[in-house]
A and B are shown apart, each in its own frame.
Chain A
Amino acid sequence: MSPTLTDANAAARDPSDGLAILESRGSTAETFGIPLAVLAELTHRCPLQCPYCSNPVELDRGGSELTTEEWKKVLTELAEIGVLQIHFSGGEPTARKDLVELVQHASNVGLYSNLITSAVLLTKERLSALADAGLCHVQISFQGNEPLVANRVAGLKNAHEKKLEVAKWTRQLDLPLTVNAVMHRQNLFQLADIIQMAVDLDADRLEVANVQYYGWALKNRAALMPTIEQIEETSRIVEEAEIRLKGILAIDYVVPDYYALRPKKCMGGWGRQFFNISPAGKVLPCHAAESITGMEFESVRSNHSIAWIWQNSEAFNRYRGTGWMPEPCQSCEFKEVDFGGCRCQAFALTGDAGNTDPACTLSPLHQQIFKMAESEAAADNNRFIYRNFAGGTLETGGDHGA
């Protein structure tokens, strides 16, 4: 028999596979097929203060957030142009009082909805209402496998206990569950226990995501950077668990790229298969894109359609494809494999988003970055700068959640 299913996401590894089947079929944004999935960051408000938060350091204030009606209009438009899945994220998406209404609207217009949450604000009644509104999948972040580490990283008392409770409700409601574990030097020793926790919670998937260093995580890099020995141990644990738990728990593993040889194919290539919408309505090629200063991003509040912004805006076209690439990328045989790595990381580490991502061994800066990672990990300075609207607060002895 021929393959029954073509995995659209396999395109992240090979540009000539299944995603092409879906993305090449004429969508409204004809030239660059509209993405299959879009990330909607409903708010930057969040009760947690994780030092590696993927939000920009300059957070959108509550008052600038899109209204319920604006978000509904966005969801309708996304469905019309061919988006199939919507990921509701933040900040903490459940901090929006209208979340049930937005999930219901996503269902009404035919979008598959996913909730990416810290879970700490959810009640059983609200989760049940979300399920009734058609929510398809829940992803809960965990900061560790027990309260001492987890609540300190989250900067919130009782967060871990609450997450465990919500994860159980999720499965009781027969909603599929993904456990998202962001890993770094100060919790990697718990990885084996975190994997077991995901199995015990009856999760379908586990994301073992090593911190990526831009925004808040870049500010906290010295406190988060793992040692190379930890990374080797992590890969060993993940490989062993993938075999042992086949058919029980699917594991997605994101490696830390400072220690990699090749850069990651960030976002599947800039402006190629992903965009997200910020709380204030900016349409962004990546959730960290606003960290690249000097770039202008169009808003859903502008006169342009989302399809127009995707296809024609300057920000999406600046690093799209391979034409913009400098050497050593331009003549590299991998240029259509990794699309030059991550633009936000290139900007953070070299000051120019158009440079080769230093995660690549071919970057002239790679060796320097690698050595910096090693020495920061060895220095073992463990104090966090907690994420908040004030620009961050340095951890003191008694202020953490544990």
Chain B
Amino acid sequence: MTALALDGLSVTLGGTRVVDSLAAHVGEGEWVALIGPNGAGKTTALRAVAGLVDYEGHVRMFGDDAVTLTRRQVARVIALVPQVPLIPGDITVGEYVLLGRTPYVSYLGGESRADHAAADAALEQLDLTSFRCRRLDTLSGGERQRATLARALAQDAPILLLDEPTAALDVGRQQQVLELVDSLRASRGLTVLSTMHDLTLAGQYADRLLLLDQGKLVAAGSAEDVLTRPLITEHYGAEVAVIDAPGSGFVVVPVRGRIVDGAQRRL
């Protein structure tokens, strides 16, 4: 079943068409990565899907057009983890994760027992139970990101949107976060749409890649189809070699100068 279908999605910001007639679908349980150079419109496309920016065209979630859903209904289907979440330092991890239950709590009401149970489950799944009473400003960057992920999980939404989940993390933590997302996807049956900066990691974790350039979808498919030297050279303006490394998928390596020797080049 299609979890997310984008049809002619366009976003105009300040007179510039940032996302241009994007058409794509994400199957239930699939992980799709939006890749593309800086300013390609990846993040804006993600924000449009979450309903945070005005757009033309259609966003359908499990068949329902987003315009027919209230903000709260959308928040029960889609959870967003922004690239740089605003962290209120003086509240605790437990209080923060509980905010993920907001779409289920009435306007002036309080959380039910079920809401607390969902937040507890998210804390446990991300190994944050012992952090419950810690203030957010005492956490490390990686721990904060886990807290934000836990908040998104507490939202109990079947679709998870991740904006650059590995930005500003070292290589080990990048792997940990992506493995974590992948295991959550398996255990909770989540559908994941993420923007990704690192092409190699995108190819390793996502089922399919969508390459955007200047707001337009220019290539879509598996890592093998999209992570090719001509496509990356054309759209990133980068000189790269793509190495088919057994066990690692397709590794995109920047190449200095025009001469590429030694590596098994894939053209």
- A and B associate in one complex: no
